[in-house]
Amino acid sequence: MIFIADYGAGNLHSVQKAFSYLGVKTEVSSDPARLAGQKKVVVPGVGAFGPAATAFRKAGFDDAIREYVDKGGHVLGICLGMQLFMSKSEEMGAHEGLGFVEGDVLRFDESCDKVPQIGWNTVDFAHDSELFKGVDDHSYFYFVHSYFCAPRYEEDILARTFFAGKNFCSAIEKNGIFAVQFHPEKSSEVGLQVLKNFAKC
């Protein structure tokens, strides 16, 4: 069973539909108490960091997921969900993140006329991971974002992607925490493979 956190800022149904296609059962809930005993947790997200972080805390998911991770649970953050895992964000002011991964969420260079990044781009692995098992290095995934994660420690970076003159972090792995800036649920077969891997790892 995959628990999908509903905190009012996620593309829940497309993620749920992707897991359903893979034959993986899911539960979508806004009740953080339901995390207890769950095999895996997914934190999707679309929108702005500040309102999403506020909604996440107001729902009680911050403490619940922190406790879940401390007990050895596996969590996958998707897009804004990945950004929420960082220490802080500069999107529309300074906002505190969950701090699962030390680092900041920064905006791409505003002088670049390609921002936001919308569409397919390659993902280059920094090291091997169960999350990308069966996926070729330099595979294409679908992105939609104007901000990117900048982890403080190199070892937390699982993959990188080049955009707007920057080789930014597009995936993270740390102590059972996985996160991807791209949308696996919108990334065809390679994206489905990532979700399948997370369900199994």
Candidates 79, 95, 169, 173; catalytic one: 79
Nearest to 135 by CA among 198, 52, 47: 198
Could you give the residue ranges of the DSSP H alpha helices within 85-127?
A: none
Candidates 74, 95, 145, 183; catalytic one: 183
φ/ψ of residue 151, rounded to 5: -60, 145
Nearest to 132 by CA among 93, 86, 89, 187: 187
79 classed as catalytic:
yes
* Count of C-beta atoms within a 10 Å radius of residue 197: 19
User: d(Cα 118, Cα 148) in Å, to the nearest integer?
Assistant: 13
User: d(Cα 37, Cα 15) in Å, to the nearest integer?
Assistant: 21
Candidates 74, 91, 145, 185; catalytic one: 185
Instruction: Tell me the angle at which helices 49-59 and 61-70 cross, rounded to the nearest 10 degrees.
Output: 80
13 classed as catalytic:
no
| Residues β-bridged to residue 125 | 159
201 classed as catalytic:
no
Residues labelled as active-site residues: 79, 183, 185
